Amino acid sequence: MRPGAGRRVYQSSDPPSQEDWGTIARLYDLEHPACRGAELGFWHQLAGTSGGAVLELAAGSGRVAIALARKGHRVTGLERAPGMLERARARCARLPPSVAARLDWVEADMAAFDLPGRQFGLVFIAYNSFWLLDNEAGQASCLRAVARHLAPEGRFVLDVFPPNDDDRQNETGITQRLALPWQGQTVLRIKDYTYDPARRQGVSEVRYYAAEPLSDAPASRLAQFTYRLRLAEPDQVRALLEREGYAVEATYGTYRGDPLTRTSPRAIFVARRP
């Protein structure tokens, strides 16, 4: 059982009736730390040795893309959720003009995108977003779209977490206290998780609550959303890449370049199209 599982938080007002991706995008930035350290070093090195422009799929609010632009790379961020793109563009507006000029944003689905006439030396999907394509047909369609946009000798990098036993167990009330506040309030993220073994699909029902520090007043619900992840073992990911015509040239288990093993926190695949 994860720390905090089973706790319940009750809202003081009516919850949102639908997913508010503008709010979710801002909360996402509180939940996930800035791209720096070994993670940024990994992407920076790949972008620097791949040549040409960079395309990030499922770029979200720009966490990785903006960090790479600060390092001098020309990056296109492709994202399906308008709320995430709005957040990314707002963050760009606060950047130095020279950095903002190296970024552009495209609203499209990574499973079926087309950027006519454009090719990239590096295309990547960071931080588990490939799992959001919740069936194998969608994942294969994404890989075909990537292939159409890779420059000759270009590289595709896929960065996911390897599933473990916890990812195949149902669990409710998984509670996380976000390190950063929301408008002076403490934020709790509460998730109910179910796993469908037939589809290899994990479904997360997520709610965010805001609470006044050191207060017994009921928390209020800020936002809610549902996401589905289609999980696969590293050897299954490699097999999918190879079926779609990719040659895997390297695998890593961390952003530091450690080997991929059964206990690695990441499963990173660096591939080319021969």
Among residues 143, 115, 122, 14, the alpha carbon closest in space to that of 65 is found at 122
Distances (CA, A) of 26 to 71, 80, 126, 128: 24, 16, 19, 19
C-beta separation of 173 from 190 below 8 A = yes
C-beta separation of 75 from 54 below 8 A = yes
Structural element, H or E, at residue 123: strand 120-125
User: Which pLDDT score is estimated for 15?
Assistant: 46
pTM (predicted TM-score): 0.90
Q: Using one digit for the tens of pLDDT, what is the confidence trace for 5-24?
A: 333 333 334 444 456 777 88
User: Which pLDDT score is estimated for 19?
Assistant: 67
Q: Using one digit for the tens of pLDDT, what is the confidence trace for 97-156?
A: 999 999 999 999 999 999 999 999 999 999 999 999 999 999 999 999 999 999 999 999
Question: 35: exposed, middle or buried (C-beta count within 10 Å: 0-12, 13-18, 19+)?
Answer: buried
User: Which pLDDT score is estimated for 18?
Assistant: 56
User: Which pLDDT score is estimated for 20?
Assistant: 72
Among residues 258, 209, 200, 147, the alpha carbon closest in space to that of 15 is found at 209
C-beta separation of 211 from 11 below 8 A = no
The CA distance from 124 to 88, in Å, is 18
Map out the domains of the chain as residue ranges: 32-160+233-272, 164-230
In three state form, how does the secondary structure of 61-101 look? CCHHHHHHHHCCCCEEEEECCHHHHHHHHHHHHCCCHHHHC
Q: What residues form DSSP beta bridges with 226?
A: 205
User: Which pLDDT score is estimated for 33?
Assistant: 75
Question: 140: exposed, middle or buried (C-beta count within 10 Å: 0-12, 13-18, 19+)?
Answer: middle
Q: Which amino acid is at 58?
A: A
One digit per residue, the tens of pLDDT, for the chain of length 274 reads 333 333 333 333 444 445 677 788 888 888 887 899 999 999 999 999 998 899 999 999 999 999 999 999 999 999 999 999 999 999 999 999 999 999 999 999 999 999 999 999 999 999 999 999 999 999 999 999 999 999 999 999 999 999 999 999 999 999 999 988 888 889 999 999 999 999 999 999 999 999 887 677 778 899 999 999 999 999 999 999 999 999 999 999 999 999 999 999 999 999 999 8
The fold for domain 32-160+233-272 equals Rossmann fold (3.40.50)
